[in-house]
Every structure is written in structure tokens, then in C-alpha cells.
Amino acid sequence: MNTLNSTPLYKQIEANLKPLFSKRIPKNVFGKSPSSVFIGKYNYPNVFAGPMVGISEQITDSDSPGKWYGLSLEKIVEHRLSLARGESVLNVKNSNNRMSLDLQDTALSLKPIDMEVFFEREPFQQVNFSTYLPPMGASGKMEKFTLADNPSIPRKVISLVQEKITVATAVHEGFQFFGDTYYLQRALSSGALGIEKKLVPTRWSITAADDLIAKQLLTDVREFRTISDIELHSNTWMGNHFEIVFIPGTWEFEQFESWEPNSFWAAKAKQMEYEYEPFEGRTTYATREGGGYYAGRIACVEHLYKIQRQARTIVLREISDEYQVPLGVFQVRENCRAALKNKPRTFETRDELIEELKKRLKRPIEQYTTTSRVLSQRKLTDF
């Protein structure tokens, strides 16, 4: 996890949220968990695992990033600083001990749960940023935690936990029932799903849920009729600008990730990354873009599934110098979802699309068209 506590932006956040940073966190905390748990990946399979417990009255009823769209960076950080993360070492396969079962109940509950967390020493308040995960606040080694409330778990979820079904099947059925990727990420991470149940590091569960849900939806999307016009959806939030293109034809997907030369993170990455998926899907992990690729893809697949169409799909992401700290891949997912809720521009020809993209993108369009497999296809039947 990248810690940026020496940057001017961090110092500004620290100054603006001084009451939370200076708040003393006791060794024993009684508060609400917003149905959140965290499973680390360090030293796998013996990982740090524990609940997120409220240490502030400002805690919200939900820790779902799906409800954070439109908030400022400071508001998101403020929410995360209102939670402390307990950490105890658990083997990922020990899914039947008391702590693992309580973590499952916490993650599966539809409402916050009262709990008491016993830390070895007082946690220290800071905020850590990650390219995969939402910002994290205080954390500390935990002796134990106890639930002081009964979880609210739907009967459908209980049946998915009890049935001898694969993780993929459970995630698919859960999505059909809830339509909430964040809930299923928590369920998967807590070790509640699958035949051989085990904890899944939170970072892995986020991408796994995105991938599994998209693959299941694509079995239907590939059978739908193609869209009739070229569509262009746009959105900008948190210094990230997205252009999403749907072109008539059978399913293909590609995603560009472009960093402005003067942006903070450009020095740590190539200025442009590219990933591609053919009609039949891909068999290798999208290492160039990681979880951001799967977060962009699921938003597009959800949209096509909803309108019952398929298309050649392109996500063009440009990151400006306003994006000074990473917020996790939820930002990609929610930015794309917001773009797809906006009314699209439609075009009859590829040339018309290209002319419009020239106006909307900062990077020269040729840097995209020379790489894109979809935009470079010029068969008579393509458009």
C-alpha cells in the first residue's frame, strides 16, 4: 500500500481534518461496523484479517464505495478516518473458527453491527492510499472482537453460503439477486462463498468479483443483437476523464489508461497503457492495468446487459494532474457507470466519431488509433 503522508496534499487533508487526526483511539473500541472487513495479502496464507469499526459519530450506515460517487476527496477520506481496522493473523483456510465466522456475519449483514474490538495498543491515526483499495485510516493488532448485535443476512445469502456450489455460481446468483458488486466483494473476501471456503485478500476479491460477474453476464451479452449506431458516453470525476465508445459489431473490449506528463503518478508508470479482450474472452490477467481494467469492463458489461445489446467497446481514460493520490479501482468503476448514465452522442461513421474524440481528448487521437484494434478495423461491414 502506498503511503503519501509527506506530500502537500496529505498535509492539507491532515490540517482540514485535524479533529479526526488528533482523536485518541482507545485500546477497546465499542462501535458500529458498516458491514466491512479487511483481509490482507501479506504473508499469504497467514494473513492479517479483521473488521472495520466506527470510532466517530460521523460514521455512515454504509461503507460501500458505490455510494461515494460525487463526493470530494476530503469527504471520502473523512469517512474512512472514522473507521479503525482490527488485525489478527488468520490462516485463510481456517473458515470455521469463531473469529472467521464473526467476520463472515459482519461482511454479509445488510445493516451496521455493534461490536467491541480489543486492540493490543492504541491505534495511530493516519491515512494510507492504494491503487487498488479505498483510503485506509487507523489500524492496529487486535486481540479479539465480539459482536454485540445480530447480523441482518437475507435468506437468499444464507442459502448461497450453505449450498455446495462454486464461488463463480454463488457470485453469479448473488448478483442476480442483489445487483451489488460491493456486497459480493465483501462476501467473497470473508470466505463465506464456495465449496472449500477460505478467506480471500480484499485486493484480490475486488478484481475477482468484477471478473466473475462480467464473465457470467457476457454469456448472455454475446447472444444479444448488436447496437445500431456508434455511441459515445463521457464523464469526468476526481481528475479522471472517461470516453466510452460502443461500435456496432460483436463483443470486443479494449481499455486505454493515459497519464498526463505532469501528473504525479506519470513518473511511476508509462504514460499510456493498453489492454484488449477478443469476442471469446481473454485467458491471461490484465497486468498492464490490473484491477482498473476489470472495473472498467464490468461497468460496460452491466450496461450492455441492461439494454440487451452487444458492441465493440472502448474505454479511453485520461488522468490529469488533479489526480494526486490514488483512491482505488472503485473510482474507475463508478466513473464509467456515471458515464453510461449520461445521454450519449451518436454517430453514423467512424470519421465522425474520430473528429468528436479529437475535441474531447487531450492526447493526440493518433496515439489511440494506431494502437486500437477496434478503431483500426475498416471493413465495409464494420460500421
- Over residues 30-54, the mean pLDDT reads 94
Instruction: Name the grid cell of 151.
Output: 447480523
Residue 233 neighbours by CB distance under 10 Å: 21
127-139, pLDDT tens digit by residue?
888 888 898 889 9
209-239, pLDDT tens digit by residue?
999 999 999 999 999 999 999 999 999 999 9
4-25, pLDDT tens digit by residue?
666 777 788 888 888 888 888 9
pLDDT band (50, 70, 90) for residue 263 = low
Return the pLDDT at 59.
54
Q: Give the dihedral sign, CA 265/270/271/272.
A: negative
Instruction: Name the grid cell of 381.
Output: 461491414
Residue 283 DSSP one-character state: S
102-126, pLDDT tens digit by residue?
999 999 999 999 999 999 999 988 8
Q: Residue 263: which of 304, 194, 320 has the closest Cα?
A: 320
Sheet strands (E) in 176-239: 230-237
Q: Cα 282–287–292 angle (5° rounding)?
A: 90
d(CA 166, CA 179): 19
* pLDDT for residue 381 is more than 60: no
**Residues above pLDDT 90, as percent of the chain:** 74
Instruction: Name the grid cell of 376.
Output: 483500426
Return the pLDDT at 270.
67
d(CA 257, CA 97): 43
292-320, pLDDT tens digit by residue?
999 999 999 999 999 999 999 999 999 99
Parse the chain into domains and list their residue ranges: 1-212, 230-369
Return the pLDDT at 1.
44
140-191, pLDDT tens digit by residue?
999 999 999 999 999 999 999 999 999 999 999 999 998 899 999 999 999 9
* pLDDT for residue 64 is more than 90: no
d(CA 23, CA 205): 32
Q: Which residue has the higher pLDDT, 108 or 268?
A: 108
Sheet strands (E) in 57-133: 83-91, 113-119
195-206, pLDDT tens digit by residue?
999 999 999 999
Residue type, 174: G
308-365, pLDDT tens digit by residue?
999 999 999 999 988 888 889 999 999 999 999 999 999 999 999 999 999 999 999 9
* pLDDT for residue 380 is more than 80: no
Return the pLDDT at 6.
62
